[in-house]
Amino acid sequence: MKILLISPIPHDELFDLKSYLKDRGHDVRFVGTQDFEEQYSYFVKKMHKLGIVWFKENYYKEMNENIKKIYLDFNPDLVFLTNGAGLKTDLLRFMKKKTKIVTWLFDSVKRDFMIKTHKNFCYYDRVFVFESDDIPYIKKQFGIEAEYCPIGYNNKKYFPQEIPKDIDIIFVGNASEKRVNILRKAAEYVFNHHLTMRIYGNWYDEKHFWKKYQFKKHNPVLFKYIINNKIVPGKVADLYRRSRICLNIHAAVHSGINPRTFDILGTRSFELLDERENYNDLIRPNIDVAIYKNADDLINKIDYYLAHKNERLQISNNGYECVKDKLSIGNCLENIFSTISTI
C-alpha cells in the first residue's frame, strides 16, 4: 500500500511510525510538520499577537501547498495523519475526493491546540484515539464514530537493559500547573532527604533570560533539579533504566493513560503513576505500576518504594511482562491497519 504519512516531526522522532510502516512492506512517503510557534522568532510571534497575522497565515499556506505537491506526485492509496494539526480544510477536501484519510489522535481532541482541527473531522474516513473519553465527545460534537487505540511504545528504543541505578527519581515531560505543583513537593522531599532527582523537559523559555529567573524565584527548590532540555528517545530510555522511581504525571485533560506509561514499562523500570479514571484494561494498578492519588500520597509512596527494592523489582517485572507482547507501537499499528483494511 502507498501511504502518505503526515505527522508532526516530534511524533516521528518518538514513535518512528515511518520505519514501522516500511518494515511491514508499505511504500511510505513521510511529510513532517511543525507548529508555527516552533519555527519563528520571538519578534514574529509578538507581531502575530499584536494582530499582524500574515506570517502565520503564509507559513501554513506554504506548508499545505507543499503537502499538496507531494500528494499529487506520490498518488497514495491512503493518507495517514497523526492529529492533523495545521492542515487546511481545502487540502483535506481535495485529497478526500480520491483517497481515504485516517487520523490517529496523539493528543486529546479537547486540548486547546486541537480545537482548530475540529472543522476537519468530517473529512476523515476513520478516527482513532488514545484517550477513550474522546470517543463520546467526538460522537456528540461531530456525529462520528471514533475508535480506541492506545499509543504503544517504541520497542526499538525502549527495551530492558541492566545498568546501574544512580538516579532516585526521574520525570520527563514539559511544564504544566499540575506538574509544577506535584513536583514542587517532591523536590522538597528529595532535598531534605539528600536524594537524587532529575526533571527533563521545557520548563522555561531559554531564549528570554528573565523567564529562567522568574521560574527560579517562584520554585527555588524545584529549580535545582530541572534540566531544561529536550532529549531524544534513546536518552530518555537510558534515564528510565538508571532510575529507581520513574514518575508519570498526566496532563490535566487526560483521564486515561498516556504513551509514557508504556515507554517506562518497556524498559522494565518501576513506574509511579498518578491515579487514572480509566486504565482500559491495559495495565493493573498497583500490580504493573504503583499508583499515587495526590502530592502527599506521592511523597509517601516515594518513601516506601525507595525502602522496598524487592517490591519495586516485582512491579517493574510485572509491568514489562504486561506490555512487551501487545503494546508496542508496531502492534498498535497492526490493529489499526487490520481495521481500516475494510474501508
Strand residues in 108-262 grouped as ranges (E):
126-129, 147-148, 167-172, 197-200, 226-227, 243-248
pLDDT recorded at residue 12: 82
Q: What's the mean per-residue pLDDT of the chain? A: 91
Which one-letter amino acid corresponds to residue 170?
I
| pLDDT tens digit sequence for 225-279 | 999 887 887 899 999 999 999 999 998 888 899 999 999 999 999 999 999 999 9
| pLDDT tens digit sequence for 131-190 | 999 999 999 999 999 999 999 999 999 999 999 999 999 999 999 999 999 999 999 999
Q: What nine digits make up the cell of 340?
A: 481500516
Q: In sequence order, what are the residues at sequence separation of 6 or more whose Cβ sits closer than 8 angstroms to the Cβ of residue 208?
A: 42
Which residues in 48-71 are b (16+ Cβ under 10 Å) and which e?
beeeeeebbeebbeebbeebeeeb
Q: How far is residue 93 CA from its own chain's centroid?
A: 28
SS3 content of the chain, % helix, strand, coil (to 5): 50, 15, 35
Q: What nine digits make up the cell of 27?
A: 511504500
**Which of 115-119, 282-286, 316-320, 321-325 bottoms out in mean pLDDT, i.e. has the lowest?**
115-119
- Among 274, 202, 200, 288, CA closest to 240: 200
| pLDDT tens digit sequence for 25-37 | 999 999 998 876 6
Query: What pTM was estimated for this model as a whole?
Result: 0.90
Share of the chain above pLDDT 90, in %: 74
Mean pLDDT of 198-213: 84
CA distance 143 to 16: 32
More confident residue, 49 or 12: 12
pLDDT at 192 over 70: yes
Element (H, E) at 12: helix 9-15
Q: Using only the alpha carbons of the chain, give its radius of gyration.
A: 21
pLDDT recorded at residue 113: 81
Element (H, E) at 139: helix 134-142
